Chains A and B, each alone.
Chain A
């Protein structure tokens, strides 16, 4: 990205000045000059297009890990007011609706666990269905699936996957309101038949990590983290059901926008007014997909527990937090000092409520919401805490962000060699896809340290702990 077209407002905040006659809201970009310079110009084009959508409140924003997506850029945040003609966009949520990270803290320390990592890697790889074409053992009939779409992680707990304590540490306590299974197509439901409790592929993973550094000891104490502790992160989403809902509504909303006279700068922004029939249908289906994702990660949580206790009989895994980063959520935010109900799109961005927020579990209320910035399989991840006064509708980065396309990655790395190289560094990879491993090479991602630092310096969230990967099951 050419920085000459931007105006630097603060050390970690930039804006895109409007051209003469350009009809759009403000565009704000969070990050350092090197991070922004590494982004494709398409990021700027996409977020400027978002800023031209009807009913946008405030600015359209990108997080420090932004990269070129479809519809919205990945790392894009935008809030709309339904009462002001605001829209909802399928491209502003993504195909993998409610993709997110479930983070589990354990009672295991590296010193006890390390000797059995090879067995743990093999056991997890056997227990967790991962990769293209893999199905789970759980097969749901249509009525059961509809119940999952209404009850989210609660359904999973009621059916023996996990416990009630998990639910307290899942966003919305494991179940969003407003899900309407009737707005989910039959094909979407059929696609999910064999995919409950599966990880998927691409950048999805289950990673065993060790807490290597603590930045904020007060928040770490609240989160139950200490150096040397083993933590497990599960990154996945709403699987085939969410993908099909994204597919169904992308075209439906594109046609609705045209029919309703919404002038889109680009068709990829497919959207409809929140209050329109199409907008309400998408909201109902999207909320169903969020519940599907929450149930999926809850099931995977229990499969992970079962696998861990095979290797470490004393293992206890508690849910630290479960946070989604592809959503549109109805939230109240103060605008010009007054509370307003907004539909906040976060496409590859994490909700990051600050201390005191009423939606946080009591245990975290004094320190803020846990935020996970997932890194690549070689570079580690960060746990952060939400800040008071977050200027981006309480949003923060969600990952390292790609620095290199998948095709470029394939020209640089071969899966087998990469896996051997990581093993030399003490990181065990298990995958059925050598191509997938090469595409996900750590070198294909931006420096997660820089993203986490920029996220903190921009005031979006503050670093609490750094996690180093030890075992990674890749999809």
Chain B
């Protein structure tokens, strides 16, 4: 069962993911790690390739969904899996690096994530911590 510090929460058919950090950007990075940890064992992914992503979004919640879906789309387009993320944002402008490698034998085959949804979507700051969460469709 997911615990209070788990990057996951319960959903009947799909999976709830949570990213936490001391900044909004870190929470987005952690959310991306939670998504890709469903896909494969991140410890086995070699950081051999970096993809830079940019998008524009004023609403932080929609930005989370946009970020995760852009990552998932690019990963599938390029046949890659990512394990490390670095997010920056200035106002509505978002820029991020995703680091990983092409699929190869030896990488664990987890479960495909189809996309991030607007369900249970929330991005909020509580005290010193930011938390970003939503349901992803698997």
**Residues of chain A having any CB pair with chain B under 8 Å:** 40, 42, 67-71, 74, 91, 94-96, 131-133, 135, 187-188, 190-191, 193-195, 200-202, 240, 243-244, 246-247, 250-251, 254, 267-268, 270, 402, 405-408, 411, 432-433, 435-436, 439, 475
Contacts and interface: CB of A to CB of B under 8 A. Distances in A.
Contacts of B47: none
A212 B69 CA distance: 43
Contacts of A411: 1
Contact of B112 (A40, A194, A200, A402): A200
Given A70-B135, A190-B77, A246-B115, A251 B109 contact: no
B10 A405 contact: yes
B109 A133 contact: yes
Contacts of A71: 117-119
A42 B13 CA distance: 12
- Closest CB pairs A-B (n = 7): A70-B119, A133-B103, A70-B117, A201-B112, A68-B12, A432-B109, A132-B112
Given A95-B137, A191-B77, A194-B79, A67 B13 contact: yes
Interface in B23-76: 39-40, 62, 65-66, 69, 72-74, 76
B3 to A, nearest CB: 11
A24 B8 CA distance: 33
Contacts of A270: 118
Given A250-B117, A270-B118, A408 B112 contact: no
Contacts of B103: 133
A69 B137 CA distance: 9
B121 A267 contact: yes
Contact of B115 (A202, A243, A406): A243
A191 B76 contact: yes
A436 B110 contact: yes
B2 interface: yes
Contacts of B112: 131-132, 200-202, 475
B114 A91 contact: no
A68 B11 contact: yes
B118 to A, nearest CB: 4
B7 to A, nearest CB: 11
B81 interface: yes
B66 A407 contact: no
A254 B118 contact: yes
Given A68-B11, A251-B62, A202 B73 contact: no
Nearest to B1: A411
B79 A133 contact: yes
B15 interface: yes
A268 B111 contact: no
A42 B10 CA distance: 12
Nearest to A439: B111
Given A187-B73, A247-B73, A407-B1, 6 more contacts: A131-B112, A132-B109, A133-B107, A202-B138, A247-B69, A475-B112
Nearest to A131: B109
What range describes how many residues of B lie at the interface? 35 or more
A202 B12 contact: no
Contacts of A267: 118, 121
Nearest to B57: A251
B128 to A, nearest CB: 27
A132 B79 contact: no
Contact of A68 (B13, B40, B62, B74): B13
Contacts of B76: 191, 195, 240, 243
Nearest to B78: A190
A282 to B, nearest CB: 15
B56 to A, nearest CB: 12
9 contacts: A71-B119, A133-B103, A187-B77, A190-B77, A202-B112, A202-B138, A244-B115, A267-B118, A405-B10
B117 A268 contact: yes
A405 B62 contact: no
A95 B2 contact: no
A194 B78 CA distance: 10
A251 B65 contact: yes
A40 B40 contact: no
- Counting chain A CB atoms within 10 Å of each CB, which of B10, B74, B111 scores highest? B111
Contacts of A135: 79
A407 B111 contact: no
Contacts of B77: 187, 190-191, 193, 240
A270 B103 CA distance: 33
B117 A91 contact: yes
A406 B38 CA distance: 11
A98 to B, nearest CB: 13
A402 B11 CA distance: 10
A243 B12 CA distance: 19
Nearest to B110: A435
B15 to A, nearest CB: 6
- Counting chain B CB atoms within 10 Å of each CB, which of A74, A96, A131, A133 scores highest? A133
A94 B115 CA distance: 10
A54 B1 CA distance: 39
